[in-house]
Amino acid sequence: MGLAFAEHLSAYADAKGIEAGTISKIAQNPDQSKHLETATFKLEGLDIDLVNLRSEAYAEDSRIPTEVAFGTPLEDAMRRDITINALFYNVHRREVEDFTEKVSQGLLLLVSS
């Protein structure tokens, strides 16, 4: 969950002498289409939001999810509305991952044109 990860990340930053702000939890509120808890805080002056990976199902006539569940990186990436939001940073390999393979293709088109 986002809050647990934020707490670990904040403790790690503190141990390394990196400035981390106060962690806030934004609770889930399904009545307002907020199905998952989000943790937010500042890390070296940058606003960070953390939430778990998820999959969503929608009715044909609505943009509000009818079902939200824990998901895989691919499921989470495929539900994103723009491809830049589908990129993930792998902290173990220190590289950006594109599970949709759409951003990589777009970058290749930009470079070749």
CB distance 76 to 62 below 8 Å: no
Question: Looking up tokens 């953390």, which residue turns up?
Answer: 50
pLDDT at residue 57 in the model = 84
Question: Looking up tokens 């990196």, which residue turns up?
Answer: 18
> What residues does each domain of the chain span?
1-51, 53-113
Predicted confidence (pLDDT) per residue in 38-78, tens digit: 899 998 888 988 888 888 888 888 877 788 888 999 998 88
CB distance 39 to 5 below 8 Å: yes
The structure's pTM equals 0.65
